[in-house]
Structure 1
Amino acid sequence: MSKTHLGHRARKRFGQNFLHDQNIIEQIVDVINPQHGENLVEIGPGLAALTEPVADRTDHLNVIEIDRDLADRLESHPFLREKLTVTRGDAMKIDFNEFVNPEQPMRVFGNLPYNISTPLIFHLLQYTDRIKDMHFMLQKEVVDRLAAEPGSKTYGRISVAVQQACRVTAVVNVPPGAFNPPPKVESAVVRLEPYSESPTPVKDRQQLHALCLQAFNQRRKTIRNNLKGLLNEAQLNQLGIDPGARPETLSVADYCAMANYLTDQKNPHE
């Protein structure tokens, strides 16, 4: 099957780096393990490095592409056009409910542009009850942040947000030479599997995300200082949280307890 890098230049504004290493591509597709009849959604298919081998193993694929030239190329692709539904647009602004199939939860995957990976993951957390799993190629340091444990330098608000909602597994490391042009960073593929019941339930995810944004805003300060105006020392003590702790030492469960307390304060009769 012909690979179609010819004549398309990577565009900086879309953060494009095209995957070309066949061994790495096969490893990633094996990890995704697409099956016939599944509801597959690819973000940023680009030059179809993952799209072609995934389409070989399945009958239909939804793809989201922001680059008009690439979307045109996919729609006229001799092998793929019969199997693809191409949605043109920015994945950050797309309502993923349009891909929902009551029989088949979504399986989302993609080689994500590094400049939008964090906000895009936050966007997708809105749909986790309709998603079976997500496989994303990301900067390795972003994968490290997603999987980080409390107490580590890389643990932060995205660690809490994603671990509250999903089981996180790093599955494949990808060297810069697997891309054209090679990025200046290491990459990795992460698997995110939304929980049907989270081990750390939260009543309002937006409240959790807002709390974490404030808590991690100044990592060197104590949680008491960072959450001034939201929770006072007595309330933190009541929740079993040391007001003198630094934000990166608190667990996902601690953040969920604080978020749930704030939600209850707003809705005292529920």
Structure 2
Amino acid sequence: MTQLFGIHAGVWGFDWSPVAADRAIGAAAAAGYDLIEIPAIDREVLDAGDTVRALSRHGIDASVSLALSFSDDISDADPARRARGEHRLTEAMHFAADIGATFVGGVVFSAMGRYDRLPTTAARERSLDVLRRVAAVGARAGVTLGVEYVNRYESNLLNTAAQTARFVDDMGASNVVVHLDTFHAAMEEQSLSAAVETAGRRLGYLHASESHRGRLGTGTIDWTALLAALAAVGFAGPITVESFSPVVIGETSAIDIGLWHPLWSDPDELAASSLAFLKARLAETVAS
């Protein structure tokens, strides 16, 4: 199968100043990736034009991602929080359109963090209500919305492919897909292959992240089986490497993500070896 490969810009850090953005985009292109996943910027602070020029200069495409916080949680009962979340999500759609990206994914349905309450049907309905409007904005701009389910410590609402598939179906928008992250799925699913099968035709984007968020192939994930499952469901979306190091992203971001010790330190080497690893496993899958 023909496969697009991406890499998260956070491999080189979360600074998106013009110099840092050019560095990350250039490094991703030099490593051989088809696209770079860019965290949604604040368009009132940063100029999307800098990103557009860097993407053009280095000849690489982009996707966009974000994660809501408790202050802008669209599943919350507080209308002000929901409004802030809808604004962030809508702005992410506009940023994607500005830079020519056709995908916005991530934790777009609730806050990314540990909840101190059980999920409710009302919270789910509030989230769906907002995301239907956000998806409509994306549809007008030619942007797909990806719903990335995460582990139990980072949301109380969507933790499995089955939950997320039902959520996407209930949203009823043709430009909404399941966004599967192997790090989270490895914690919550009986098997990654089964999760892929459950998502089926709804699966539109995949984060390739090792079970410990370190170097691909050094954890517990069976990548050959995963790639075979993707081929079986006709997956045609990007496989995007997501791995972070506290050495690169700094103390504040490391605490937010829970990266307590480094598993690698050279982002350029990590990018190159990750792509080589995935291509080798894909070749094995095709040959078998």
TM-score category of the 2 structures, normalised to the smaller one:
0.3 to 0.5
- TM-score, normalised to structure 2's length? 0.35
Decide which structure has the larger Cα Rg and report it.
1
Q: What TM-score comes out, normalization by structure 1 length? A: 0.36
Larger fraction in helix: 2
